[in-house]
Amino acid sequence: MEMSNKTAREIWAEVKANPNRARFGYGKKAVLVNIDFQCAYTRVDEFKTAYETDPQQIEHVNALAKRFRALGWPVVWTHVEYLASAEDAGVWGTRTNTPDSLQNIKAGSRRAQLDERCDVQPGDLQYTKRMPSPFFETPLQSLLVWHQVDTVVITGGSTSGCVRAGAVDSLSRGYRTIVPEQCVADKHESYHFANLTDLMLKYADVVDVNETLTWLDAQVAAKK
């Protein structure tokens, strides 16, 4: 194993700066999967479980969603919530039982609610998931087959948890996977940057959000 005194942020900066890094690239049609933009994880002014990496994260995601809708491409928002009994949290929810615990994100609660800053439109899809990946036991795979997409753009949190799980599952299903850097967040910079590095080297293209916006704008222009 290679040893290093560099921080996760420094290693990520080196990987990102490599002009020769291999890319999966964009395909012909994409889906936007926005993972867990719910108050438990976005409202740092309300909940200890929340986190913020880029203060403009939700603005960037709303800009992406607007372009996806202009193309008639699917926009998906996921969130986690559990029954009062927490039996649907499975073993994942059994490690702790405090007011901040995962299993205590109850259906209909403020913690389960999508952040009102998110521009969620009536035509968007909203899925409840109970495990890290947005693909696990949700209709997401069927939606992607119906829309014949070949590219999955992933945003949300956490970078080291549900975003990573979603990217791994996306690639495993044969999709080109794009993670706009400014659109994902985590609790600590160490986890965040270490997982951006891992995603870039193995599972996804981690790109500047403006690159994805420019690609989408080109698709919108070509459609006119």
Distance separating alpha carbons of residues 192 and 53, to the nearest angstrom: 9
pLDDT digits (tens, 9 = 90+) for 63-98: 999 999 999 999 999 999 999 999 999 999 888 999
Distance separating alpha carbons of residues 35 and 103, to the nearest angstrom: 18
> Would the pTM of this model clear 0.85, i.e. be above it?
yes
pLDDT at 224: 77
CATH architecture of 25-223: 3-Layer(aba) Sandwich (3.40)
CA of residue 216 relative to chain centroid, distance: 18
Give how far Cα 168 sits from Cα of 12, 129, 200, Å. Answer: 19, 16, 11
Give how far Cα 73 sits from Cα of 123, 147, 203, Å. Answer: 10, 8, 23
Ranges of residues in the chain whose predicted pLDDT is under 50: none
pLDDT at 168: 98
Token pair for 23: 């890319």
Rounded to the nearest 10 degrees, how much is the dihedral formed by the CA atoms of 103, 177, 138, 123?
110
Token pair for 51: 């986190």
Q: Which residues are catalytic?
A: 162
Domain ranges of the chain: 25-223
